Amino acid sequence: MMRSTLSVFALCAAALPGLAAADPVKVGLLLTLSGPPAVLGEHARDGALLALKKLDGKLGGEAAEFLVTDAEGKPDIAAQKARRLVESDGADVVIGPIFSNIMAAIAGPVTEGGAFLLSPNAGPSVFAGEGCNPDIFVVSYQNDQPDQVMGEYASGAGYGSVVLIAPNYQAGMDHLGGFKRTYDGDITAELMTQLGQLDYSAELAQIAAYQPDAVYAFLPGGMGVNFVKQYQQAGLSGIPMMSSFTTDETTLPAMQDAALGMLSSGSWSPDLDVPGNAEFVDDFIAEYGRVPASYAAYAYDAVMLLDTAIAAAGTEDRDALREALRTVDFPSLRGKFSFGANQFPVQDFYLTEVVQRADGAYATSAKELVTADYVDAYADACTAE
């Protein structure tokens, strides 16, 4: 730590005498990189690093340094590491985290330490409404939105009855709540499963007995893989499966054919027809050997946003940089992009379907636009500034 402090001084002294702003822009990447959900963090990390590489290691023309840090999926450890990044390593911006509970734990340490927080995934409602914070920018979406979009789609598609399934914990309730908010058909049953559940045969038997028009699932990570595989094996493929955070590029390699045709929603997909997106996907595959998931795309966007904002306002004046982050127009992989009053995105949402790509890999594919310029439900409650 002593060494890092000294090296900063050395850099300052060596670079352009008289110009204090010459030390590199430091960006902390605080992502969960260990434990079962590590793959999500890895996608985000790789997306961000790819963006930096594309920018020749510079943000807004200034030399930049990325400090990759593992949040370990534990709020207390993440909070500690956030403080280390901001207080000890001198990060100006932190990009992270993946999970909402980590976000709640690090938001204080990051913003009170004088840095900006750019979230490449987590968008919990606490920071979208009254608790919105001028130093926090959510580059992904508000957590409830994908579910609400699916609810709207299910209503429009004429599914009269749906069985809901989610793990028995807070995020599970929230996501099902999002779906129910916009879905106007019958909820046949809500199946609450256990966190980390392995065997879904009991739930699948319930679904088979109910014979609903469709199933809606929120089963992230390994739970989703277990469920989707067993769904197909139980002979339920005839019942349409919609989900959020269940079938994406992080889990599809493990689901493969079992997930084909399953539906979800998002504001980005690898085949979204937007300038630069195809190039990003190809570069990502070439560099990391897998199809990028939304975590990678949003982290890439976060870095691009940062680059454009620093180019416009520099890093010296915090208020100017904040204003630039809010308003600047950057080349997003989602095409048009803007922030709402709560600094959550206002963006288009698509229905996506699992397909097999020409190269044999599995990915989500944008099928149709469901909602344009979607503003989250909490934005009105934000009265920041």
Partner 1 sequence: MSAAPKAAIALLILLALVPPAAAAIGDPFLTVIATRMAVFAIAALSLDLILGYGALVSFGHAAYLGLGAYAVAVCARHGITDLFLQMGAAALAAALFAAVSGAVSLRTRGIYFIMITLAFGQMAYFFFVSLSAYGGDDGTALAARSTLFGRAWLENDTAFFYMVLACLALAYGGLDRLVHARFGRVLTGTRESELRMRAIGYRPFRYRLAAYVLSGMICAVAGVLLANQTEYVSPAYMAWTRSGELIVMLLLGGVGTLAGAMAGALVTVGLEELLAGWSEHWRLCFGLILLAVVLWSPAGLTGLLRRLLAGGRR
Partner 2 sequence: MANLFLLQLLNGAQFGILLFLVAAGLTLVFGIMDFINLAHGVLYMLGAYLMAMFALETGSFWLGLLLALATTLVVGLVLEWLVFRRLYDRPHLDQVLATFALMLILSEGVKILWGSAPLNVAMPELLSGSIPLAGPLRYPVYRIAIIVAGLATAAGLWWLIARTRAGMLLRAGASNRPMVAALGTDISRLFLLVFALGAMLAGFAGALVSPVLSVDPGMGDSILILTFVVIVIGGVGSVKGAFAGALLVGIVDTVGRIFGPIWLKLVMDPAAATQAGRVLAPMLVYLLMAAVLSWRPNGLFGRPS
CB of 70 to partner 2, least distance (A): 12
Q: Could you say whether residue 73 binds partner 1 (CB under 8 A)?
A: yes
Q: What angle do CA 364, 366, 371 make, to 5 degrees?
A: 130
* Interaction residues for partner 2, span 86-115 (CB under 8 A): none
How many chain residues touch partner 1 (CB under 8 A)?
31
CB of 39 to partner 2, least distance (A): 4
The entry of partner 1, partner 2, none that residue 251 binds, CB within 5 to 8 Å by partner kind: partner 2
Q: Could you say whether residue 69 binds partner 2 (CB under 8 A)?
A: no
Options 5, 88, 211, 338; binder of partner 2; rule CB under 8 A: 211
Q: Could you say whether residue 65 binds partner 1 (CB under 8 A)?
A: no
Options 225, 241, 299, 363; binder of partner 2; rule CB under 8 A: 225
Cα gap 216→243, rounded to integer Å: 5
Strand partners, 332: 335
Q: State the residue for tokens 């976060």.
A: 302
CA atoms within 13 A on the CB side of 206: 14
The number of angstroms, rounded, from the C-alpha of 195 to the middle of its chain's C-alpha atoms is: 21
Q: State the residue for tokens 């000890």.
A: 88
Give DSSP secondary structure letters for 99-162.
SHHHHHHHHHHHHHTT-EEEESS---GGGTTTT--TTEEESS--TTHHHHHHHHHHHHTT--EE
Which CB atom, from 91 or from 191, has the smaller least distance to partner 2?
A: 191
Residues 334 and 272: beta-carbon distance below 8 Å: yes
Options 30, 149, 217, 223; binder of partner 2; rule CB under 8 A: 223
The entry of partner 2, partner 1, none that residue 270 binds, CB within 5 to 8 Å by partner kind: none
Residue 317 corresponds to which amino acid?
D
Exposed / middle / buried, residue 73 (Cβ in 10 Å: 0-12, 13-18, 19+): buried
Q: Could you say whether residue 7 binds partner 1 (CB under 8 A)?
A: no
Is the previous residue joined to 345 through a cis bond, with omega within 30 degrees of 0? no
Selected range binding partner 2 among 103-111, 128-136, 252-260, 329-337, rule: CB under 8 A: 252-260
Q: Could you say whether residue 188 binds partner 2 (CB under 8 A)?
A: no
Q: Could you say whether residue 88 binds partner 1 (CB under 8 A)?
A: yes
Options 222, 314, 331, 335; binder of partner 2; rule CB under 8 A: 222
Give DSSP secondary structure letters for 207-260.
HHHH--SEEEE---THHHHHHHHHHHHTT-TTS-EEESSSSSTTTHHHHGGGGT
Cα gap 359→242, rounded to integer Å: 25
Q: Could you say whether residue 193 binds partner 2 (CB under 8 A)?
A: yes
Q: What x-and-dash track marks residues 96-135 binding partner 1 by CB under 8 A?
A: ----xx--xx-xxx--------------x-----------
Q: Could you say whether residue 80 binds partner 1 (CB under 8 A)?
A: yes
Cα gap 325→303, rounded to integer Å: 11
Helix (H) or strand (E) holding 367, with range, is: strand 362-374
Q: What angle do CA 341, 345, 346 make, to 5 degrees?
A: 85
Contacts of 89 (CB under 8 A, 6+ apart): 4, 26, 28, 67
Q: What x-and-dash track marks residues 162-201 binding partner 1 by CB under 8 A?
A: ------xxxx-x---------------------x------
Which CB atom, from 88 or from 233, has the smaller least distance to partner 1?
A: 88
The entry of partner 2, partner 1, none that residue 199 binds, CB within 5 to 8 Å by partner kind: partner 2
CB of 281 to partner 2, least distance (A): 17
- Contact set with partner 2 (CB under 8 A): 34-39, 42, 168, 192-196, 198-199, 201-203, 205-206, 208-209, 211, 221-226, 229-230, 233-235, 250-251, 253-256, 290
Instruction: List contacts with partner 1 (CB under 8 A).
Output: 1-2, 5, 33-34, 68, 70, 73-76, 79-80, 83-84, 87-88, 100-101, 104-105, 107-109, 124, 168-171, 173, 195
